[in-house]
A and B are shown apart, each in its own frame.
Chain A
């Protein structure tokens, strides 16, 4: 089935599903965050759609909101679909799909680890990739890199993070400008 047919089938049951036009790349379907579990269950169990393979589950941070993207694939029907849910930054919560596809277990733990998206009813939701006492959600755009971990500094002596370099450059420029303007003001007329 092609993309339009899948979207029309979804829109029959859930009219709030959108499929915006794109400039480049794959087309995707946006679903509301509260209804992800029922829509994905329909996508998996409907005999015409039959998406029995969860290829990937990714979180993304656009700077304004968080996305949760499911990439689905069907072995029987040989079609693919990208399903996206948009979540607010303050409290991103969504139902877990670990009971539909066992593959979702580690993917959801990784999304929790990197973005802080909480999956309700997940069998074992804890950090996967970072140490258990790591602070913050590293994947987010506003993540502050830690200066040290358990007493060991992160950088070597003389190394800067790029934000520090930018800040240092901006401060130097401002200082030079201030010096120059004060020098011009003090010049004998």
Chain B
């Protein structure tokens, strides 16, 4: 994008410079370092350098029991800790052949969806903050504090919950909790249209995100993108709908998909697979999660009417004190706010696993970063990082 005639360009004699963007930078979502080779503002290549938060969580799992590993799954992706716990519990239950009772499944889905709402609020708030708008972030945190209060009632913690256990959940919900969840759902329903009036319809915000970081559907599948990044490129794939686990097959909800460039869609001035599409998918998913919370509350009210010793009313299956899992391996995945989180667990017949591999959505997003940001401006690189919703502990583990 250098302007001017050839003579002016020859006299200007620009060179490429190598900048190190990160690991401490106000606009990166965690400790991500980018080696940016740029000619002025135009980026020739932005190579990600990760590993600044590599704690060896997968290796730690080989020293601990299956149950003792659960708090570490919280720390893998702390913004959606309930979903991470759930994914690990699903994998171990599949391998050990444990079936959690119905009430436990309902409670798991309830906290999953509440956590999805709070995680997406931080993501879109942080994206807006990176673009220079500070207020939407504060709005997002204000709603998120209500979810934190609900979680504190259920399990006592605000951020790293360790609530889902192998075979069920750790505690039953207190009296009056379902009414509070319903109240929160009613409160949250109009908030997204308020949010849209605040920032989504803003023309500067739209111009900064449209046509930036465009990923076609074939590229998205090849690069292994998952979750809202994949759906923002037009591929309709949601593990909750297409490979349902837990009680998702009994719930009604839609899967929002990006539709950039469609004059009748929600992104008429953009193109399919740009950052604005990915942002809009997350905003719409919050509304869908609110619908799911209402449905699950109704199902929980029905479940409350069962007698106290009925098997569907328990919140934890009977799991032996020393959980020995048969020899085998499993790859099981779950829909986190950041995409699919897959656990590949190899068991050698003892109480400790042989290998736990955690495959997360942000890992694929950082993988394709170099190809997506070629030729963009440095400000656009920040927009792409924000729209991918990268959380570095997921990448580094």
Contacts and interface: CB of A to CB of B under 8 A. Distances in A.
Interface stretch (B12-20, B136-144, B362-370): B362-370
A28 B51 CA distance: 31
A129 B327 contact: no
B209 interface: no
B224 A53 contact: yes
Interface size class of A (residues with CB under 8 A): 35 or more
Contacts of A103: 222-224, 364, 367-368
Contact of B331 (A23, A60, A82): A82
Interface in A81-138: 82, 101-103, 105-107, 127-131, 138
Nearest to A104: B224
Contacts of B397: 129
A69 B344 CA distance: 9
Interface string B320-336: 00000111111101000
A127 B49 CA distance: 10
B342 A56 contact: yes
B328 A22 contact: yes
A129 B54 contact: yes
Given A102-B222, A102-B224, A105-B367, A24 B328 contact: yes
Contacts of A102: 219, 222-224, 367-368, 371
A60 B354 contact: yes
Given A55-B359, A106-B366, A25 B329 contact: yes
B63 interface: yes
B390 to A, nearest CB: 13
Main secondary structure of the interface of B (DSSP, over half): mixed
Interface string A138-167: 110100000000000000000000100000
Contact of A62 (B59, B237, B342, B348): B348
Contacts of B366: 106
A168 B241 CA distance: 54
A58 interface: yes
Interface stretch (B78-86, B93-101, B162-170): B93-101
Interface string A29-69: 00000000000000000000000111110101110000101
Contacts, number: 108
Most B C-beta atoms less than 10 A away, residue of A22, A24, A130: A24
Contacts of B54: 129-130
Contact of A82 (B221, B222, B329, B347): B329
A82 B329 CA distance: 10
Contact of B344 (A56, A61, A128, A141): A56
Contacts of B357: 56, 58, 60
A13 interface: no
B377 interface: no
Contacts of B328: 22-26
B263 interface: no
Contact of B237 (A25, A60, A75): A75
Contacts of B305: none
A188 to B, nearest CB: 48
B339 to A, nearest CB: 11
Contacts of A107: 363, 367
A52 B221 contact: yes
Given A28-B329, A103-B223, 7 more contacts: A22-B328, A24-B325, A24-B327, A58-B355, A60-B355, A129-B51, A138-B59
9 contacts: A24-B327, A24-B330, A26-B329, A53-B224, A56-B331, A102-B368, A106-B367, A128-B50, A138-B59
